[in-house]
Amino acid sequence: MSSSLTQTESQTFNSTSFAQQALSSPQNLAAVLDHTLLKPDANRSQVLQLCHEAAEHRFACAMVNPVWVQTAVSALQGTGVPVGVVVGFPLGATLSPSKRDETARVLKQGAHDIDMVLNVGLLKSATPADYELVKQDIRGVVELAHGNGAIVKVILETCLLTFEEKLRASELALSAGADFLKTSTGFSTGGATVDDIGLLRGVAGSRAGVKASGGIRSLADASAMLHAGASRIGASASVKIVNELSGQEAASSPSNGSY
């Protein structure tokens, strides 16, 4: 990501400024897009195509399922584009030792962005002991990732949470050291909403990033999420979104045709 898009250490996050810079060019927009392929029937050739597109457009990362990490790391070697991977996906109900083991294995294979699913059932159990288990579940992954120079985005699955649960989940993730709060897996009952992005940014401030994911299929969708406070966007339609912005720039530029 270009330095112009790096969050500052100030107490507030300027969503308007960030969005304006991200939308100022196709290159800047690509730098905040996680190019994503998580469908269960994704095959090797599709993963390789994803990596080719990620390298061509300089996306923030190529996001894949764990089985494809080695393939993606090999395909992106030397490009500077990192590989992202999901952990405990898509339900978040995996045993904590299993999440840590999965994290350790994908880190060893070269993954850089770890998008882990929060344990929604424990969060909804709503006792102090269960909240502590949620936090420790996240912290176990965070410690491994940070020890290997990687980052963690915690998927809250906001469509399943009440307003109060979204606030609680955000604070637990932040207290466990999460680098990003992320809305959705894209495999549940709903995806990112402008209201949820605003809520998560309100909690995170400048302490962490906010990733919008699930149902973002157009430049208009991406723009709305960025203006609401997202600093990263997960989408399978990343190429389309960037091309939309390129088309707008081309349409607004003077013609370079012959006399």
Instruction: Render pLDDT for 32-57 as a digit per residue (tens, 0 to 9).
Output: 999 999 999 999 999 999 999 999 99
Assign 3-state DSSP to the chain and report helix, strand, coil percentages, each to 5. 50, 15, 35
Catalytic residue (one of 179, 196, 211, 221): 211
Q: Note whether residue 127 is domain-resident.
A: yes
Q: Note whether residue 164 is domain-resident.
A: yes
Catalytic site residue 115?
Answer: yes
Q: Note whether residue 43 is domain-resident.
A: yes
Number of domains in the chain: 1
Whether 235 contacts 213, CB under 8 Å: yes
In which band, very low, low, confident or very high, does the pLDDT at 8 lie, cut at 50, 70 and 90?
Answer: very low
Q: Note whether residue 80 is domain-resident.
A: yes
Can you give the pTM of this predicted structure?
Answer: 0.92
CATH of the domain at 159: 3.20.20.70
In this prediction, residues 93-121 reach a mean pLDDT of 98
Q: Note whether residue 107 is domain-resident.
A: yes
Catalytic residue (one of 113, 115, 137, 221): 115
pLDDT at res. 251: 63
Domain span including residue 165: 13-245
Scanning 176-237, the segments in alpha helix (DSSP H) are 194-204, 219-228
Q: Note whether residue 220 is domain-resident.
A: yes
**223 has pLDDT over 80:** yes
The alpha carbon dihedral of 84, 85, 89, 94 has a sign of negative
Q: Note whether residue 4 is domain-resident.
A: no
pLDDT at res. 250: 67
Whether 227 contacts 198, CB under 8 Å: no
Catalytic site residue 124?
Answer: no
Alpha carbons 224 and 216: distance in angstroms, whole number: 10
Q: Note whether residue 38 is domain-resident.
A: yes
Catalytic residue (one of 135, 182, 196, 221): 182
